[in-house]
Structure 1
Amino acid sequence: MRKPLCTLVLALLMSPLAAVASYLDHELAGEFTDRMVKTHGFERAEIEKLLAEAERKQSILDAISRPAERTLEWKDYRKIFIQESRISQGVEFWNTHRDTLKRAQQQYGVPPQVIAAIIGVETRYGRHMGSYRVVDALATLGFDYPRRSKFFSKQLEEFLLMTREQGLDPLAMTGSYAGAMGFGQFIPSS
């Protein structure tokens, strides 16, 4: 019984996952760090610290390989979105945020009902906004999801630009497994 256990432990220690203690050590991290420094003027130490703190999440890789989103017909969506509880939550949200919705319409030209509808569909009026750290989601998908690595690496870049511009802590922000954030669940480039 000892030999199979030793073999398993040795295999795990020699696996690519064991070799990467943090995203700072990931083979793609140097290229990403160089781009952030050269293109956007970030301090190298700042990006390296962030990548050292970003965590690979297997649950994110599992979730993206079986996304909840799929194409449904209206009859199927109707059952989800036209419910008494969702309607009353929408009215409550609209009443609570009336002034903000009006300002958004004046500033951006987007009607309040469109904004409220997006927020209702995406997060059930802010009740379900995701629990993953955005930096973990985007680093995991940018560095360890080869199929869409380029896209998610770009989203990580956009996320860091956004957090710098807005004065936000990139380690504190949470969102979906795909790095979507906020009431509308927009990705960083949006």
Structure 2
Amino acid sequence: MPTRPMPTRRFLLASAVPALTSAPALANPVDGFRGFLNSVRAEASRAGIRPATLDSAFAGVAPNQKVLDRDQHQPEFTLTWARYRGLVITQKRIIAGRQAVAANRMLFQRVEQRYGVNAAPIAGIWGLESSFGTGTGDFRVVEALATLAWQGRRASFFRGELMAALKILDHGDVAPNGMTGSYAGAMGQPQFMPTSYLRYAVDFEGNGRRDIWTSRPDVLASIANYLAQSGWRPGQSWGQAVSVPPGLDAPGRDARRPLAEWARAGVRPVGGRWVATSDTPAGLIAPDGPGGEVFAVFGNFTAIRRYNPSDFYAIAVGLIGDQVLT
């Protein structure tokens, strides 16, 4: 989920696991929330958002206790890379990804021609964020964001996202009842936060709306546009698994050397061949530390991390994309 809070070595399973405890019950929610919404309406009006948009956006909106429960009591599990990999890179997901890519092969080709991003990283993100569009969240985004902007831990952040959501509605890209997502406001199949949507979502279908909920062309092109604007380099890989000789440390993604230099130090590609040229700058990452898997990562790894700043996430995107395209 771009710009939304992302796990690094922790994988937050709040969307899949019920809260272990309940957040405190809302005190006098109706009056306080109504006053909050009035202040948001005033701010939105000053920003030029039409009254009719605000009426429809806030119709039936109320404080959502489930949202606060998720926000305040997220069950957190500190995972190793091996455990994380086992949870997110499953055979079921790979099979579903191959089917999704096969069913949309021409669309992926058109997207690559436009944005210079091939199918693999797009499919990897699409698969991780929403299981190829099958799990996008069913919270009403305006209600979730309004609740978090009112009483959440990061009220200022979520108020900004709420204002962005209102701008999206005012533009007519989606109706309020169609603007659904996660408890934290991440929307549609790419799970864009509203501010990310405003920056990166595109109308690839050409119907005047940027529909990341139901339009597959808009979904895939929006992910590609995000990566392209994050520095994706056409024709290059994100990285690959490698073996290292005993005693050689993996100094991390930012300690880059040409692949030829790593090769002289005894680093070898798993699978028998390098996927980049010998002069390609590469960092070495050992996500579980010495004795675990090691990956050589290239410049496009950084582009994936701009979508989500977790090494675990970026490696998983790369591996899922590589596997569904084989």
Instruction: Structure 1: give runs of 5+ residues left out of the alignment.
Output: 1-11
Query: Which residue does the alignment assign to 2:179?
Result: 173
Asked if structure 1 preserves the Cα contact closer than 8 Å seen for 2:149 and 2:155, the reply is yes
**CA offsets 1:95-115 (integer angstroms, 9 cap, x no match):** 122222222222233321111
| Residue 61 (structure 1) aligned to one of 63, 68, 71 | 68
Q: Distance in 2 between matches of 1:71 and 1:173?
A: 32
- In structure 2, the gaps of 5 or more residues are 1-24, 197-326
- 1:16 pairs, out of 28, 38, 57, with 28
Superposed CA deviations along residues 59-89 of structure 1, whole A, max 9, x for unmatched, are 1110112336766332112111332211100
2:159 aligned partner: 153
**Cα contact 1:123–1:129 (8 A) shared by 2:** yes
Corresponding position of 2:93: 86
- Give the whole-Å Cα distance in 1 for the aligned partners of 2:63 and 2:175: 19
TM-score (norm 1): 0.79
5 Å-filtered alignment, 1:103-118, equals 103-118=110-125
Distance 1:94 1:45 in 2: 40
1:54 alignment partner, SS class: coil
Aligned residues: 171
Residue 38 (structure 1) shift: 1.4
For 2:181, give the aligned amino acid.
G
TM-score normalised over the length of structure 2: 0.48
Contact 2:49/2:166, CA 8 A, preserved across alignment: no
Instruction: Summarize the Cα distance change of 1:166–1:93 in structure 2 as closer, same or farther, 3 Å threshold.
Output: farther
Name the counterpart of 2:43: 35
CA deviations on 1:20-65 (whole Å, 9 max, x unpaired) are 5xx5x23x223321221112x1223542453342122101110112
Q: For the residues of structure 2 that align with 1:105 and 1:160, how far apart are their CA atoms?
A: 31
Q: Which runs of 4+ in 1 moved over 6 A?
A: none
Q: Could you give the per-residue CA deviations for residues 108-142 of structure 1, whole angstroms, max 9, x where no partner exists?
A: 33321111101111111112111111111111111
| 8 Å Cα contact 1:160-1:170 kept in structure 2 | no
Instruction: Provide the rounded CA distance (Å) in 2 between the counterparts of 1:177 and 1:67.
Output: 11
> What percent of counterpart residues are identical?
34
Structure 1 residue aligned with 2:169 = 163
- The structure-2 alpha-carbon separation of the partners of 1:65 and 1:100, relative to structure 1 and needing over 3 Å to count, comes to farther
Higher helix share: 1
Quote the offset at 1:144 in angstroms: 2.2
More divergent stretch after superposition (98-107 vs 57-66): 98-107
